[in-house]
Amino acid sequence: MLAASLSPSVSSPAGAAAPFDSDAPPIIPVDMHPPVDLAEDLEHFLAQLHAYLKQEDIDQIEAAYHFSANAHRGQFRSSGDPYISHPLAVAETLAHWRLDPQALTAALLHDVMEDTNITKAQIAQDFGKVTAELVDGVSKLDRLEHQSYEEAQAENFRKMLLAMAQDVRVILIKLADRLHNMRTLDAVRPDKRRRVSRETLEIYAPIANRLGLNTLYRELQELSFRNTNPLRYRVLAKAVRSARGNRREGVGKVLEAVVARLPACQIKAEVMGREKHLYSIYRKMRDKRLSFSQVLDIYGFRIIVADVPSCYLALGALHGLFKPLPGKFKDYIAIPKVNGYQSLHTTLIGPYGMPVELQIRTREMHHVAESGVASHWLYKDEDTLNELQRTTHQWLQSLIDLQTATPDSAEFLEHVKVDLFPGEVYVFTPAGKILSLRRGATAVDFAYAVHTDIGNRCIACKINHEHMPLRTELRNGDRVEIVTAPNAAPNPNWLGFVKSGKARAQIRHFLKTRQNGESAALGEHLLSQALHNLGHRLEELGSSAWHRFLRTFSGKTQKEVLTDIGLGKRLPAIVARRLLDGRASGGSVAQSAGAIRIAGSQGMAMQLARCCRPIPGDPIVGIIKAGQGLIVHTHDCPNLRIGKAGRGPGGGKEWIDVEWDAAAAGPFEVLIMVVAQNAPGVLGRLASAIAEHEVNITDVRMDNDSGATTSLYFTLQVGGRMHLARILKSVRRLPAVTRISRLKEDHTQRN
C-alpha cells in the first residue's frame, strides 16, 4: 500500500517525535521488476494463512497454486516474470484482508479459464462449485468479432458487476487483480498504460471506495494519476517534498501540542501523521482552480481512541487547544458515509495560521475505514455482519434491478458509474429514516431511492412541509415527502435534472416501454393500411408469412418490426411487400384502410407539431419521422410547404392520412397574440377574461410595440377549435384590445 510520508504512529503519553521522516520512501515506489523468487513468495504467502486458517484449508490453497502454476507453465508477463507470480500476488492481497479459503483458491485460479484450456467444470470438480463460480465471475467474456473494444468492455463489466451482485468476493478478487496490474504497469506500452489507468480511475477506484476499501482506493487513484499525467505527478511530488521542509516547524508544533493535550485530559490515544495524497491535491487544485501554495491542508493527523465517547472528548479537548475552522466540522460517526466510513473530521488553525485536519476515530472504525466490506469477512452469520456489509448487500441487489431496467450494456455501465460516487446529502423520510443521496440529487431521485413505484407515480413533493418543485435540489437535513397519484407517469423532462443512476434508468425504461407499446399499435395500423392498398388484409397473413419474413429479412420479433414501422425506421409499404413475398396483388383497391384517428395530445408514438400547434377542428396531415414516430401538422403549416420541396419535416418522409377522433380530449396547446393598449391593469383583465373559460395559461410573453400598444403572446391549453373561438370572442370585447389572432407558426420551435 502507499508508503506514509509522515512518521510512524506516536503514542500520546510519550514525548513528541519529529513529524517527518527525511528518509521516507517515494510516495509510490516504482516497480523495477527484480527477479522473482517464487519459492520464497509462496512460503511467505502460506505463512500469512497460518495466522487465521486451518491446515486443511491451507493444503487446498497450496494445491490450487500448483494447479495454476502447471496451467500457466510457459506463460510470462510483460515484465518477463513467470505468469504465476501474478495470481500469487492477487491471493496475497486477499490474505491481507483475511478472506476465506474459497476466495483465495479462486484468486490463484482467476486467469486459468481465460488464458488456458482449463474449463469451469474441471475447476468445479477439483475445487468445488463455489470456487468455479467465483473464477467464472472474474473471467472475461469471449470476445465477439463484431464488437468494438468499447462494446466488449461494457459487456465484460456488466458480467462482472452482476456476478458481484451474487457474491461480493468476485469484485474483491478483481480489485486485487487490478491493484497488482497497476503496480506493474510500467512494463506495458504507454497507450495501454493510459487506457488501463483511465479505466481504473473511472470504474475500479470508485468501486473500492463504494465498498469502503479506503487504502486500496487511494493507491489505485495515485497509480492511475501517475500513469495518465506523469509530468504533473512528478511536479506535485517534488512540490510536496519541498513543502515538508517549509512546513515542518508548524506541523511539529501542532503534533507536540496534541500529544501533550490528550493525556492531560485523561484520554488514551494513538496519534498518526497523515499526508494528503497527490491525486487529492491535484483534484482540489483542478476543481477549485488553486495553485499548490493555496492548498494548505496537505498535512493532518489521525487520532485513534478507545471508544465513541472518547472521540467526542478528544474533539472537545482539541477545540480548546486550537481554534476550529468554521464550517469544517463533520460528524461521520452519528451519520456514517454510505460506504460505512465513520470518523470525526475537524480542521484547526495551527501556528502561523496554517490549517491542519484532524480525524478522530476508534480502532474498530479505523479497521473498517481501511478494509471496508472485507473487514470481519470470516464471520458469515447474519447476526455478526456489520452495517457496511448490510448496506453493501442492498447496493449489490440494486444492481440486479438496474440490469432489469437497462438491457443495453453501455447504458447499464453509464448508470453504474453515476451511482459509484458515494452520497453526500443526507435527507429524512416522513418516518424519520435517513437516506443518503449524491450531491445535487432532487426530489425525484429521492422518490426512486424510496421505491421505483413511488418514483414512477410521483406528481409533487413537500420539502420541510412546504410544496416545492420536483426538480428542487435537496440539502442536508431536508425532510422530504412525495405525493403520488395512481395514474401518474414519469415525465421525459425529468431526465434533464435527475442525478442518480437508478432514477435515470427507471425513467428511461418506463418511457421506452410505453413508447414501444404505442409505436407497435401505430405500426400495426400503418402496415394494415399498406396491405389494404395492395389488396390484402393484415388478418389474412398467417404465422408462416411472419416467420419467413423474420428469418430472412430482419431477425427481430413481430412486435419489434411493428415498433420500427411506428417509429419511422421501416417503411410499411416495403414490409407489406416482403410479407406478401411475391403473392399476387389484389389489384387496385377502392377503399382505403382508413385514416389514423388522433384522440389526444399525449403519446410517445404520436406528437402534435410545435410549429403549428394543431387542435381539434383544424384540417390535419401526418408524416412519419424516423425515430420520432407520427408527427401531426395543420394542412397549411408553413413547414410542410418547405417539406414538399425536400427541405422541411415532410421532405423525403411518408405522408399519412390522419383525422381527429370525435372524442378527442385535450388539453391542446395553442398560441394567440393580443395587441392591447399599454395601460395599467390590462394584463390582469386579459388573464381574467381568458380564465372565465376554464383555460390554463402556460406561458406569457410581451413585446412593447410603441408607447401606445403592447403585443402579448399567450400559450393556452384548450379543448378544441370551438373552445378557442369562444375565448377569442370574449377577449375581443375588452375595450383595451385592438387586435387578437391565433398564431399557427412559432419560429422559435421547429419540428
Q: What is the DSSP string of 472-495?
A: PBP-TT-BEEEEE-TT----GGGG
| DSSP three-state, residue 463 | strand
Beta bridge partners of 272: 302
In CATH, which of 3.30.70.260, 1.10.150.80, 3.40.50.300, 1.10.569.10 is domain 666-743?
A: 3.30.70.260
In this structure, are residues 96 and 48 in contact, taking their beta carbons and an 8 Å threshold? yes
**Residues facing 484 on adjacent strands:** 458
Cβ atoms within 10 Å, residue 401: 14
Bridge partners of 270? 11, 304
Q: What is the residue extent of each domain of the chain?
A: 38-227, 234-374, 389-500, 501-579, 666-743
pLDDT of residue 543: 74
Q: What is the DSSP string of 602-644?
A: --SSEEE-TTT---TTS-EEEEEETTTEEEEEETT-HHHHHHH
| Superfamily of domain covering 389-500 | Beta-grasp domain (3.10.20.30)
* Cell numbers representing residue 712 in the block: 402579448
For 471-483, the pLDDT digits (tens) are: 888 987 788 999 9
**How much is the pLDDT for 181?**
93
DSSP single-letter state for residue 374: G
- In whole angstroms, what is the distance from residue 212 CA to residue 395 CA? 13
pLDDT at 173: 92
10-residue averages of pLDDT along the chain (751 residues): 34 38 35 57 88 91 93 88 92 90 93 88 92 86 51 67 75 91 89 90 85 88 93 91 73 85 90 85 87 80 92 92 87 83 89 84 88 59 54 64 59 60 74 80 91 90 89 87 87 83 81 71 76 75 75 68 72 73 46 61 66 84 71 80 49 68 78 88 88 85 76 87 90 90 63 40
Residue 85 neighbours by CB under 8 Å, 6+ apart: 36, 38, 41, 77
- C-alpha to C-alpha distance for 595 and 518, rounded to whole angstroms: 17
Phi-psi region of 78 (alpha: psi -120 to 50; beta: other; left: phi over 0): alpha
Alpha-carbon distance 258 to 365, whole Å? 21
Cα–Cα distance measured from residue 633 to residue 618, given in angstroms and rounded to the nearest whole number: 9
**What CATH architecture applies to the domain 234-374?**
2-Layer Sandwich (3.30)
Superfamily per CATH, domain 38-227: Hypothetical protein af1432 (1.10.3210.10)
List, as one string, the DSSP characters of 46-105.
Answer: HHHHTTTS-HHHHHHHHHHHHHHHHHTTT-B-TTSSBTTHHHHHHHHHHHHTT--HHHHH
Task: List residues with catalytic annotation.
Answer: 114-115
* Residue 487 grid coordinates: 395514474
Tally of CB atoms within 10 A around 631: 23
pLDDT score of 146: 41
pLDDT given for residue 171 in this prediction: 86
- Give DSSP secondary structure letters for 568-583: TSS-HHHHHHHHHTTP
